[in-house]
Amino acid sequence: MAKKSQWTLVGKRKLELSNLEKVLFPEDGVTKAEIIEYYLKIAPTLLQHIKGRALTLIRFPDGIHGENFYQKNRPEWAPDWLEFVKLGKEEKKDYIIATEPASLVWLANLASLELHQLHSRKPDFEHPDYMVFDLDPPEGYDFPKIVALALDLRTFIESFGYTCFVKTTGGKGIHICCPLEPKWDFHTVFEAAQAIALPFTERFPKETTLHIKKEARKGRVLIDIFRIRSGQSIVSPYSLRGRIGAPVSMPLTWDELTLVKNPREFNINNAVDK
DNA sequence: GGTTGCT
DNA sequence: AGCAACCAACGCCAA
DNA sequence: TTGGCG
Ligand SMILES: [Mn+2]
Ligand SMILES: [Mn+2]
């Protein structure tokens, strides 16, 4: 592997990219160059979804089998054009905001395979603009069974007057997102989600639970509403995941979701076309 | 992955 | 110039 | 305060 770096122009930004031929997904032979290329191609779509959102990165500098770590803080040595917002305790952290294709390329060069997002948008970081229901299946759960549960949950949520959008997580689960006016704080939105999820788990007690502890779940699907808190994040739509197959969190219509047998159908090789 | 500090 | 060390999240709850 | 959890 040639460990050189090379300069490139993305829009009006000059970027130094390193180790472009380094393989970060060994089973799939996917190099850092291909990851950067993916994020460049998906940029017009992805940027719309993460516009104004504070990001959390998951970086895999030594590939998906090497050490990985979350990163929320924008490093001191980031380029001055990379936008950020001070958030968190005492506004201690400079959260990154991606505003242009070059932002995504800069992040990809750091091996930020996964982009996760907070639930609020600039300029109103105190008020989430969606309510998310994160379906977390136990090990070995058949994906079509999660799909069936998601369809039921959708009907249930919409009976409360919300509209539901859905995406695969790129892992084993599903995210249901309900757009909101950024008018209520995190606690209020959490309680609204709880007021929906609790009766849902009571209707399907054998299949679903609100217990986050593994021991208490007993093979049931966790309806994880506990992401709805300030400083918490979910994987962004169209983000890669650091797993074998280079899967992508893929937004789908409900009709499309019905046909999905395996969420690994959506990956770095086909996500751009969709 | 990038930076800093030591040899 | 080369190399080793160091750093890179957070919120909540039960124990 | 720590450990488990996503
Ligand atoms: Mn999940
Ligand atoms: Mn390294």
- CATH number at A209 reads 3.30.70.3300
Nucleotide lying nearest to A232, CA to C1' measure: C10
In a domain, A86, yes or no: yes
Per the structure, how many domains does chain A have? Answer: 2
Q: pLDDT tens track of chain A, all 274 residues?
A: 666 899 999 999 999 999 999 999 999 999 999 999 999 999 999 999 999 999 999 999 999 999 999 999 999 999 999 999 999 999 999 999 999 999 999 999 999 999 999 999 999 999 999 999 999 999 999 999 999 999 999 999 999 999 999 999 999 999 999 999 999 999 999 999 999 999 999 999 999 999 999 999 999 999 999 999 999 999 999 999 999 999 999 999 999 999 999 999 999 999 988 6
Same domain for A179 and A103:
no
Look at residues A125, A146, A165 and tell me which one is the last residue of a structural domain. A125
| D3 closest protein residue (CA to C1') | A213
Return the closest-CA partner of residue A10 out of A116, A107, A117, A112.
A107
C9 C1' to A73 CA distance, Å: 9
Distance A11 CA to ligand 1 centre (A): 34
Enumerate residues near strand B (beta carbon within 7 A): A 5, 16, 18-19, 22, 32, 59, 61-62, 75, 77, 109-111
CA of A110, nearest ligand number = 2
A66 and A141 within one domain: no
Domain that holds residue A55: 5-125
Last residue of a domain, one of A125, A156, A189: A125
Question: Which ligand ends up closest to the CA of A61?
Answer: 2
Query: Measured in angstroms, what separates residue A5's CA from nucleotide C1's C1'?
Result: 17
Q: Are residues A22 and A73 in the same domain?
A: yes
Q: What is the predicted pLDDT for the residue at A273?
A: 80
Nearest nucleotide, C1' to the C-alpha of A93?
A: C9
A114 within domain boundaries: yes
Q: Nearest Cα to A225, choosing from A261, A204, A199, A205?
A: A199
Residues A151 and A218 in one domain: yes
CA–centroid distance, residue A221 to ligand 1 (Å): 10
Q: What pLDDT score does A51 carry?
A: 98
Neighbours of A59 (CB within 10 A): 17
Is residue A259 one of the residues assigned to a domain? Answer: no
From the alpha carbon of A61, which nucleotide's C1' atom is closest?
Answer: B1
Same domain, A150 and A92: no
Is A51 contained in some domain?
A: yes
Q: Computed over its alpha carbons, how large is the radius of gyration of chain A?
A: 19
CA distances from A251 to A12, A103, A113, A260 (A): 30, 22, 18, 12
Residue A234 lies in a domain: no
Residue A24 lies in a domain: yes
Distance A111 CA to B1 C1' (A): 7
Q: Is A34 in the same domain as A103? A: yes
In a domain, A172, yes or no: yes
In this predicted structure, what is the pLDDT of residue A1? 62
Q: Is the CB of A215 under 7 A from strand D?
A: yes
Same-domain check for residues A106 and A162:
no
CA–C1' A213–D2 (A): 16
In this structure, what DSSP letter does residue A240 have? B
Q: Do residues A145 and A38 share a domain? A: no
Domain boundary among A81, A100, A125: A125
Give the Cα-Cα-Cα angle A118, A123, A128 (nearest 5 degrees).
40
CA of A4 to C1' of C8 (A): 23
Instruction: With a threshold of 0.90, tell me whether the complex ipTM lies above it.
Output: yes
**Whether residue A220 is found in the same domain as residue A169:** yes
pLDDT score for A2: 63
Q: Are residues A151 and A199 in the same domain?
A: yes
The answer to whether strand C lies under 7 Å from the CB of residue A84 is: no
Are A96 and A167 in a shared domain? Answer: no
Let me know whether A84 and A164 are in one domain.
no
Does residue A258 lie in a domain region?
no
Task: Check whether residue A233 has its CB closer than 7 Å to nucleic acid strand C.
Answer: yes
Q: Which CATH number is A86's domain given?
A: 3.90.920.10
